[in-house]
Amino acid sequence: MKEKFFAIRTWAWIEMGGFFVFLFLVAWIFNLPRNYFNVVPHPFWLLVIFFSAQYGTKEGLMAAVCSTLALLLAGPLPVRSIVQERYEYFFLLAKTPLLWGFIALTLGELRMKQIREMESLKISLQQVEEKEQQIANSYAALKKIKERLEVYVASDMKTALMEIAAFKQMGKKNESDVLQGGFNLIQTLVSPEKFSIYLLKNQHLDLLLAKGWEAQDTYLQSYTSEHVLFQEIVRKKAVVSAQSSASILQQEGVLAIPILKPESEEVWGMIKIEKMPFLRVTTATIDTLHMIADCWVERYVQCQKGSA
């Protein structure tokens, strides 16, 4: 029951009424004063302590006030003796009500502090639950995106494998045709805006083919052993990307991978991507370029053996 009467819970009024009715009934049965003035400890203490500890300051003070009214009005009061001063008599009547008010205020404030802390904890718990729900929703959304990306990547990889398999089955024996076929694979499967192929000759990486280069571009057409990119590709056989090795590529591109001969694992050349959206420089792109490079150099070596 959450309704209030004079800012006090209705249920508290009912409990207090029941308490006084019960005590008055006991007093009537046992022929006692209804205000229990001389009873020690006074039974009204139960009401004051219970209300203060259960509900808080307002209800505790309300219980103290009602208990005081019942004490002073519900039954006979002790008669003031001739030798008793007025202030002493007043203190006799007011001592217990003052203690009720003090205890109601003290216990009530302690209870209110506890209630405020509980409310604060409830708010904190609600905020945590809301954050957990947001995290759960975000996780579910990310999971769906991840699943879509996995399907997308798997589809792209399947397409790449089919294209590469078709390239392997080509009957072309001309070296230039094989080079052009590999070049077309890169354009189809990776779709860079600018890219190039370099061959290793006499400790130089020399430009073989380029796509998308413009007149104002100043990309190097040959890399010697002194260049850092040459050392990374030829000597270390490492993949170089702008994401992890921007100082090596500098302004020469966003990605470079070595082309290795299938049997000896020697460097045959380099695929370099000069321009492509940054977010597309991924592990899947690098794997695709590696597959194209492996297939490409294999076909090219076969053509060289065939022509020999």
Phi-psi region at 5: left, alpha or beta (left = phi > 0; alpha = psi -120 to 50): beta
Phi/psi of residue 56, nearest 5 degrees: 125, -165
Q: What does pTM read for this prediction?
A: 0.48
Task: Please answer whether residues 284 and 156 qualify as being in contact, where contact means their C-beta atoms are separated by less than 8 angstroms.
Answer: yes
- Count of CB atoms within 10 A of residue 286's CB? 16
| CA–CA–CA angle 36, 41, 46 (5° rounding) | 85
Q: Is the pLDDT of residue 304 over 70?
A: no
Phi-psi region at 203: left, alpha or beta (left = phi > 0; alpha = psi -120 to 50): left
Tens of pLDDT, residue by residue over 203-233, are 899 998 888 899 898 899 999 988 989 999 9
Task: Please answer whether residues 239 and 271 qualify as being in contact, where contact means their C-beta atoms are separated by less than 8 angstroms.
Answer: no
Interacting residues of 200 by C-beta distance below 8 A, sequence separation 6+ = 234, 267, 268, 269, 270
7 versus 230: which is more confidently predicted? 230
Tens of pLDDT, residue by residue over 25-41, are 999 999 888 989 888 89
Q: Which two tokens stand for residue 295?
A: 């297939």
Tens of pLDDT, residue by residue over 229-244, are 999 999 888 999 887 7
- Under CATH, domain 170-307 is a member of which superfamily? GAF domain (3.30.450.40)
190 versus 14: which is more confidently predicted? 14
Q: Average pLDDT of the chain? A: 83
Q: Which two tokens stand for residue 119?
A: 């409310």
Residues of the chain with CATH 3.30.450.40: 170-307
Tens of pLDDT, residue by residue over 115-149, are 999 999 999 999 999 999 999 888 888 888 777 76
Per-residue confidence band for 182, with pLDDT thresholds at 50, 70 and 90: confident
Tens of pLDDT, residue by residue over 46-87, are 999 999 999 999 999 999 999 999 999 988 888 888 877 888
